[in-house]
Amino acid sequence: MATLKEKRTCGQRCEDFGRFVWNPDHGTFMGRTPVRWVYISLYYVAFYVVMTALFALAIYVLMYTLDPYAPDYQDRLPSPGVMVWPDVYNEEDLELVYNTSEKRSWTRMSRCLKDFLGPYNDTLQEHCHTMHKCTPGHYNLQASFDAPGHTKWSCPFLQSMLGECSGLDDPSFGYNGTNPCVIIKMNRIINFLPNNGTDTPPYVNCTTLEGHENVAGMTFFPINGTFDLSYFPYYGKKAQPSYMNPLVAVKFHLVGQRSAKIQCRVVARNIAYQNFYDPYEGKVVFKIEATS
């Protein structure tokens, strides 16, 4: 029996393989005649060309119906979120706690603000926005794309607009003492017009939730804590690549225990602030404390 399943020598195997690659009896190459190879190759080439064309057509139709300058799904204009810098968290709460007699503890705060304001550098901002005239107090509405590269103009926001909280005169931003600054930023929302497009700009209003007696006063920069109308509307990253969020800085004058819980709210008729599920919608709450 064993002889029937006789082991084939290596030479025989090689010969079999050779016959598979080129069989002179049937004139086949790898099991097919050259003509059949040409047919089957043509078939597959045609098949993939058609598939690729269909796919490209589907993508093209999709892209054609999308506006590259606007987000696709916007059921309602949402209300903007509000953030505060320095963004120092203790567990989940924002706690700006520093020790005036420990340089390291307060330079952490001032460095955070300095880094945050880096892109707002006056030289940089003025360089980026030389061509366009912005009129304070008026919306920066633009129907066409007149800025270079088929974009729209943005108004510059300069670090120096934050006055005493700009870090230009006092690089410690008040953290070497008891008059610390915080910076409030409102998130951008495409096509958002504050107060439903009326002439009233949104402004920041901070209230003391705890420790009223420890806050002798607050100073807002720019004046009245307003976000000027010329920073609205925002047309999107592609339309306004050089857009900078306007900012408002608040300087607190801490006395007594020098500890307070503050809520800063951006006030406008169409900015909600009582969303239980999103505590940062329209407002931000933080603790500020200067120990020594």
Ligand X SMILES: *[C@@H]1O[C@H](CO)[C@@H](O)[C@H](O)[C@H]1NC(C)=O
By CB under 6 A, is residue 193 in contact with ligand X? Answer: no
Sheet bearing 283-291, strands edge to edge: 89-90, 93-99, 283-291, 259-267, 203-210
Task: State residue 69 phi and psi, 5-degree precision.
Answer: -95, -5
Distance CA(41)–CA(48), nearest Å, equals 11
Minimum CB distance to ligand X smaller for 152 or for 246: 246
Q: If we measure between CA atoms, which residue out of 189, 183, 174 comes closest to residue 206?
A: 183
Smallest distance from the beta carbon of 92 to ligand X, in angstroms?
Answer: 22
Cα–Cα nearest to 264, from 251, 287, 280, 283: 283
Q: Of the listed pieces 62-70, 98-106, 182-190, 240-248, which binds ligand X according to CB under 6 A?
A: 98-106
Sign of the torsion angle spanned by Cα atoms 12, 17, 21, 25: positive
Asked if 270 touches ligand X (CB under 6 A), the answer is yes
The smaller minimum CB distance to ligand X, of residues 79 and 151, is found at 79
110 vs 151, beta carbon nearer ligand X: 110
Query: Nearest Cα to 288, choosing from 113, 96, 107?
Result: 96
Output the smallest distance, CB 122 to ligand X, in A.
Answer: 7
Nearer to ligand X, 207 or 245 (CB): 207
**Binding marks (x or -) toward ligand X, 162..181, rule CB under 6 A?**
------x-x-x---xx----
Site string for ligand X, 118-157 (x = CB under 6 A): ---x-xx---------------------------------
The footprint of ligand X on residues 201-220 (CB under 6 A) is: 205, 207
Identity (one letter) of the amino acid at 138? H
CA dist 105 → 111, 215, 290 (Å): 11, 21, 10
Q: Does 259 bind ligand X (CB under 6 A)?
A: no
- Binding residues (CB under 6 A) for ligand X: these are 99, 101-102, 121, 123-124, 168, 170, 172, 176-177, 196, 205, 207, 223-224, 267, 269-270, 291-292
